[in-house]
Structure 1
């Protein structure tokens, strides 16, 4: 019988080669499930509307790009269209965020359904996790990882929103799939494609791209030193990523006047990465503040990654990384001593790389002043694909241990075989069921009408079937105006233009910009026609 210490460090199970299992069809079903549930969240919880400042700015940028321009001309009277994180500077009007995600969202704008972009991206992310898991581990592990991701409350709530993280998860997974394929095939073209995917992540969330890429840059660097021929793969990969960084610098130059200055700082001068005065509000960001943010986000991740009770969501992934580290340490020690030990292989290398991806993402956000918590610990979201793969590895490792222990205790009896095969499946079903039917519904409902934003007023105005009109919206706070502003064309030339109600005297100034239009006011929950003579 295999010694205990070798059993604990063994590969979880042999890869499945049963063609009757048809894991690809099951994975396709999981992709469809994730898309449909995320679309339900977008509709039933968020009413297909942006609910936070970031989402409003993203949608504005997407509408700008869909109109065929990188920045919109500033309104003649910008005070009528003021909304957080949308900036007027030197006659130009633009959101404060990098352009990568808004470019993807613009495809939804052009199709007339921008709210569908993230649900579709969620399904694609599940497919990519299965694809990557099948390649670096085996089809069963890939399918289990896809199941975990598709049933993750964290994925489903983010995919119902207009935030950038689900699309950025797709860029991350495309980079990982490309990295694996380029290494395996020695293909410069695939290396270029992987670098382009990383470049799109950089063009969307630069700090996230740094954290994600760090362990793979280390991997590529070590391999290139040992095997210089690998540079034919990693060179194009790095070149593509650098080309996209050049695009980001160019966009910064266009919007802020300096390639190294991000538009974040135009809204809040302290909104930058780092520590000390000038980085973060007040006296500046500190390492202690970063640690507090990290602890808060990790607790949230433990709860909502899979929604399991007792904050168990991270346990299988941590287990997989610990086993991989132990195998690496023991293998190195035995190799040093000249003793025989099984080769680690690609799977363990990927365990360590995916663990490094998650740690890299956590580490870089220590240097950012806010926790960013919104619909979960979103700054860590792009690690969810890697965590799902590691969790699948950890679960299969635990299943292997349990089967081994059951055989030792009960022998090769029928009861022992049933127990070792059935109990882990039952426990996993209970955990997933708890996340889906207990954690997720209660969490999702807490975001309905978030920030007080609902579609009620917008539906009432749209029911009036206005045409060639301007609607002045009375707003006590930006959230009252947000659902209306989100419908505007950045060129302010739509069938209906929604503007802030600044009082009759000032409203006349805007009315002069729209001769021939009808004018209305949305006040106190009612649409009120305005006398053209009075408003002029």
Structure 2
């Protein structure tokens, strides 16, 4: 019998065990590496690259910070014979056979520390047969397999869902948060020490230089001509003046540069096309909507055109998702530039975040938050895709901004604009949008409660009208369901795959079950990916600044509200069966306004605390009020500036350039697929049908190239049986059929099947 995670599995009669062998993977293979690649989901990790990088100082630092040697590590081996312990090893050596005593009553106790990548232990029998016990947290299973003594085919003896016990994985999440807090304290300590030294240096060594400069300027002072810049502002208009009053022009320049960079990613690295099942479905739906339809009639032989997350129902062809994303892409489809839409929405979303943060805080926080957003690889590479996140957050952020303007100016049209934006956001990402709207609106009410309470009568009429607008969006959603599924309460997503839903229990998701423990595994993976990909900084430093307003005691009510929104939005995914990690932790993209705001706020507070504390210490040691005795200006936190510059350098020197390499000639397929995409996206064929028998390759790469009516110059079908070719000829007369073949080096060949 094998007991793992509270689950007992029967391995059957296994013979007489002689040796225990603990398998261990390559030390550079982890779920998520420091360049954002992974070994378990997207299968993008380049093992050879990390084997060469493993001795570099930066890799060693990151590995030490994350304690990578402590992940998926065997610990506390205990061998019990006849109820007596015969062998105890706290750190058993992997890949080294451990002799087992000859007995009929043998127990082996073993722990797996911080399970991450799959791990297997093998029991070798006296007859050379073996039993293997594999624990795989990402794919959610414990499995026992048996290999016969002649090394024939391995058979599965038992299989069970994993994990069931939530405590170990809750401990991993708590460990992540605790380590982040410790690094926050370390940052605070370093900045305080550095700023104290800087203050003494500034006031002790540079005082005379400063006074000399002041005297020289005073002596040389004379009539000056002051050049006024008001005429420049008047030329660009009051709009620019109002905008730069809230956001520094440097941030606006960064937004423009970021827009160009994201466009380059979308067009050059992504080839202007989608590369994941979800994005393919949005892209396909946008093509349908661009023709003025919500669904298109099924093509001939529809079984040969299986689209990812695309339904073939009641004679119609349509995507499973809400319509918001595809509708937003339609203008791009009409212009022949669909890849421009999401970078534009992402850029405007960051601008909206800046305006909101300027309202809550000041120009400094808003400017820094925008700069952090434009430099975020997580933002850049996701905003260039055809996924729904950037579009949804664009609507939600501007709905939030309009709501704040209504509360500030009391102009009712802002409230109506807010409802429209919120409604479009909910039509883009339904459950996520509703949760986001509920949190943000509740936060705004708390912040403006005193104002609302005093003039509650003013709010009645606009709120009633806004409620009517909101009901219109509910009616649109129900009508959309009714038209496509013939049931207003049945969404296309539920029709496509009923287990795709939030909750716990059996029959949920493609793992067949979802538990609190597996939800905590998702949360751990999302936080791990976020810490790597959000800013491209060293692991625990990514979220360390978020905690600084709170551990320094300078948090305001709005800080607590942003933190609460961040925690609830992130924690909600514990109840979803899949982590969805692709181009980073994309499910957490909607938390970006909260992350950017709290990070910028933490950096500003860090600099302020450093300067103020060092000033007080200097003043105390000098036994006087420094401001009265010295005319030297108070320095900015040099240590904070150097720290921030170092973190940005980690991104700009290593992480972001590495991303451009990883996504070069990007297909969305695992790294072992080698493809000449130019030959695929620009085939020298006319009036042709291209077929392939590789299902994954077809759905990810070829299906997005089809038009919904299948009238394009080249049509792509999933077919490997030559018997289907005659049917294709009959369904599409006049077209020549080509088999698409891909060699090991990625070379593409189109072989005619009609010759």
TM-score by length of 2: 0.61
Task: Give 1:496 deviation, angstroms.
Answer: 2.3
Q: 2:492 aligns with which of 263, 270, 288?
A: 263
Secondary structure in structure 2 of the residue aligned to 1:320: helix
Match of 2:84 in 1: none
Match of 2:567 in 1: 359
Q: Point out where structure 1 has 5 or more consecutive residues left out of the alignment.
A: 1-7, 9-16, 329-347
Cα deviation, 1:405-434, whole Å, max 9, x if unaligned, reads: 121233459999575343322221221221
Task: Give 1:37 deviation, angstroms.
Answer: 1.8
Using CA pairs below 8 Å that are at least 6 residues apart, which structure has the higher relative contact order?
1
Match of 1:344 in 2: none
Which has more helix, going by share of residues?
1
Number of residue pairs the alignment of both structures matches: 495
Match of 2:472 in 1: 243
Q: How does 1:106-121 map to 2 (within 5 A)?
A: 106-121=330-345
Secondary structure in structure 1 of the residue aligned to 2:505: coil
Cα deviation, 1:480-512, whole Å, max 9, x if unaligned, reads: 453222121111112222222343321221222
Match of 1:527 in 2: 750
Secondary structure in structure 2 of the residue aligned to 1:450: coil
Does residue 372 of structure 2 align to residue 164 of structure 1? no
Does residue 679 of structure 2 align to residue 460 of structure 1? yes
Distance 1:81 1:20 in 2: 51
Please tell me the root mean square deviation across aligned C-alpha atoms, in Å: 3.0
Distance 2:433 2:712 in 1: 36
Task: Give 1:225 deviation, angstroms.
Answer: 6.3
Secondary structure in structure 2 of the residue aligned to 1:88: strand
Task: Give 1:474 deviation, angstroms.
Answer: 1.5
Cα 1:289/1:416, change in 2 over 3 Å: farther
Aligned 8 A contact 1:278 1:284 in 2:
yes
Secondary structure in structure 2 of the residue aligned to 1:521: strand
Match of 2:528 in 1: 299
Match of 1:5 in 2: none
Task: Give 1:530 deviation, angstroms.
Answer: 4.7
Task: Give 1:479 deviation, angstroms.
Answer: 2.0
Deviates further, 120-129 or 348-357: 348-357
Q: How does 1:35-114 map to 2 (within 5 A)?
A: 35-114=259-338
Task: Give 1:194 deviation, angstroms.
Answer: 0.8
Q: 1:140 aligns with which of 358, 364, 367?
A: 364
Q: How does 1:262-411 map to 2 (within 5 A)?
A: 262-281=491-510, 284-320=513-549, 348-411=556-619
Cα 1:138/1:249, change in 2 over 3 Å: same
Task: Give 1:67 deviation, angstroms.
Answer: 1.4
Task: Give 1:379 deviation, angstroms.
Answer: 1.1
Cα 1:80/1:371, change in 2 over 3 Å: same
Cα 1:49/1:463, change in 2 over 3 Å: closer
Match of 1:424 in 2: 640
Cα 1:214/1:322, change in 2 over 3 Å: farther
Q: 2:715 aligns with which of 497, 512, 523?
A: 497
Cα 1:517/1:310, change in 2 over 3 Å: closer
Task: Give 1:236 deviation, angstroms.
Answer: 4.0
Match of 2:416 in 1: 192
Match of 1:331 in 2: none
Aligned 8 A contact 1:118 1:160 in 2:
yes
Cα 1:457/1:259, change in 2 over 3 Å: farther
Q: Point out where structure 2 has 5 or more consecutive residues left out of the alignment.
A: 1-191, 193-240, 620-625, 743-747
**Structure with larger Rg:** 2
Distance 1:171 1:455 in 2: 37
Secondary structure in structure 2 of the residue aligned to 1:402: helix
Secondary structure in structure 2 of the residue aligned to 1:120: helix
Secondary structure in structure 2 of the residue aligned to 1:212: helix
Secondary structure in structure 2 of the residue aligned to 1:486: helix
Match of 1:440 in 2: 656
Aligned 8 A contact 2:246 2:355 in 1:
no
Aligned 8 A contact 1:45 1:445 in 2:
no
Task: Give 1:21 deviation, angstroms.
Answer: 8.9
Task: Give 1:403 deviation, angstroms.
Answer: 1.0
Distance 2:691 2:254 in 1: 43
Does residue 694 of structure 2 align to residue 476 of structure 1? yes
Task: Give 1:201 deviation, angstroms.
Answer: 1.3
